[in-house]
Chains A and B, each alone.
Chain A
Amino acid sequence: MTTVANGVNVQALLDAREVLKGAPEAAQFTWRAAAKWNHGVHSTIKVQSFFGLGQEQSHKEESVFEADHPEVFAAEDNGITPIEYLIVGLASCLTAGVASVAQNRGIQLRSVEATVEGQHDIRGILGADSDVRNGYNDIKVTFNVDADASRQEIEALVAQSQKRSAVFDALTNPTNVTVEVA
């Protein structure tokens, strides 16, 4: 097999899979984000620490995100809307998946682009119609992949990436959510 260079260390992931098969405790991760309200519907969210492999971990640097709403919502637009962060997560997760699966299957990628469109009826969040849900009604992701592979192989990459995607699962399946006041 020719070596492909998509920059994903698949061997490390495969090794981790073997190790964690026998050590489910180490596989338990906790991801964290901390939000602070600024003013209006603008808040700042910071992400740095997480827990995994049995101990506290940290990203190299803290990441800071601004979340707000656009001016058509009568807000100041200091950052993207929270529901847009969801499709940011989906697009990045599926793209990472495509790269990993391609690496594992020995497919050299030249470019991968994904566009995401989420259909959202805002009558739900406005309480204008109780039959309309708050969240997305429909999300569509379109991939443009240029690679040394047939169309069928590319479709298989994209399908496998969904199958192993954390965000795809989080959006398509219900998750228990607890919100409380400390």
Chain B
Amino acid sequence: MERAAAIVIGAGHAGLAASHFLSARALDHVVLERGEVANSWRRERWDSLRLLTPNWQSRLPGHHYEGPDPDGYMTVPEVTEFIQRFAKVSSAPVLTGANVTRVRRTGDGYHVATSLAEFRCRAVVIASGACNLPAVPQLSDAVPSSVEQLTTFDYREPARLPSGGVLVVGASATGVQLAAELQRSGRPVTLSVGEHVRLPRTYRGRDVLWWMDASGVWDQRHDEVDDLTRARRLPSPQLVGTPERATLDLNALTPMGVNLVGRWAAVRDGQALFSGGLRNAVSLADLKMDRLLDTFDAWAMADGRWSELGPPERFASTRVPESTRLQLDLRSGEIRTVVWATGFRPDYSWLDVPVVDAKGHLQHDGGVVESPGLYALGLPVLRRRKSTFICGIEDDARAVIDHLAGYLAKRQSS
């Protein structure tokens, strides 16, 4: 049995940021990682993926992008390297190959069982990621076996799919990116579109994520957000990082030949049935985008930035077909593959502390979990809107480790 004041679970950027602040306070700790540093980037991403956040936004505590192209977007090997380097410069005490199999409370702290060793500690930081498993809806069970099904964890590149039609489900960042590359590969794509977040890649000459950052939208705190449950469920925006800085919304996909249909509602007798409500899904996204751009403009005016920026822009409403397809026969051979781009969920199967709700979400208040000494990092809107992004971890990790240090100090003195 090994002992440490704190155990951090996961060596992604979140766990490493926690380690950075623990080290700064000279708190003895170990970072347990089932694979290698930056494991999710090594194993769970597709080949063409680049970050959708620009390079200059890749900032971690004490470590940031210093290359020649601040406005570019990192490839996956570059992100892996960037995080690996962060682990090195912060001398993070990472134990790789240590899969955490159980965490439970003991009298004065926690017992952490791993595939390598067992630990006793007083505090645990859960930084195991928000995207451990693909979230695939139940109706996938009813898809005929003649159709191949892939999640974004299995998907690597178009050439590995059978030729023929592909039904991509979900129109968030992942869905629009895969729809575009599959369509370009000559496979006719049908994209099933539910609620989504539309954004232009650039606005008034700046990256739209520069606006999110500079205008303070991303800094909005979890206790200031109107409907936190909703904000935490918000899908990723329709963005892609490409050298051309091109917008990849539905209006960009339609001319490529991608066929838009509504939300996939059911499978009946081998027929996929889609919602007839697509028009409203796109109206909601258009209206929300316009409101966000209004917010940006108001900020630019108030901040005295107006003249440094290009003129305000408003983008064409999303075009949808006059009447969308409501049914598609999955046995006809038209669709050879279904790609589920329906999001991700965390995996807490190893967490033997009753802090996960019926829907599988960890219950916490700004990263502070109800069970004393237990903390979380890297979850959606953990403390701020930017929490899951690389640039969002510094503020969150500092605050959470502050709390953790206070907790340990109080215990020591009592």
Report which A residues bind B (CB closer than 8 A).
137-138, 152, 155-156, 159-160, 162-163, 168-169, 171-174
Contacts and interface: CB of A to CB of B under 8 A. Distances in A.
Contacts of B323: 137-138
Q: Is the interface of B mostly helix, strand, loop or mixed?
A: mixed
B266 interface: yes
Q: Is the interface of A mostly helix, strand, loop or mixed?
A: helix
B268 A174 contact: yes
Contact of A174 (B273, B277, B280, B291): B273
A156 B273 CA distance: 27
Nearest to A173: B265
A171 B290 contact: no
A162 B262 CA distance: 14
Contacts of A173: 263, 265-266, 273, 275-277
A155 to B, nearest CB: 6
B273 to A, nearest CB: 5
Nearest to B283: A159
B266 A152 contact: no
A138 B278 CA distance: 13
B287 A155 contact: yes
Given A137-B323, A138-B323, A152-B290, A172 B283 contact: no
B408 interface: no
A174 B283 CA distance: 22
Given A138-B323, A168-B277, A174 B265 contact: yes
Nearest to A161: B280
A179 to B, nearest CB: 15
Given A138-B323, A162-B280, A156 B287 contact: yes
B284 A174 contact: no
Contacts of A156: 287, 291
A137 B268 CA distance: 19
Nearest to B287: A156
Contact of A152 (B262, B265, B277, B287): B287
Nearest to B294: A152
A160 B291 CA distance: 14
Interface in B287-307: 287, 290-291
A159 B323 CA distance: 18
Contacts of A162: 277, 280
Contacts of A152: 287, 290-291
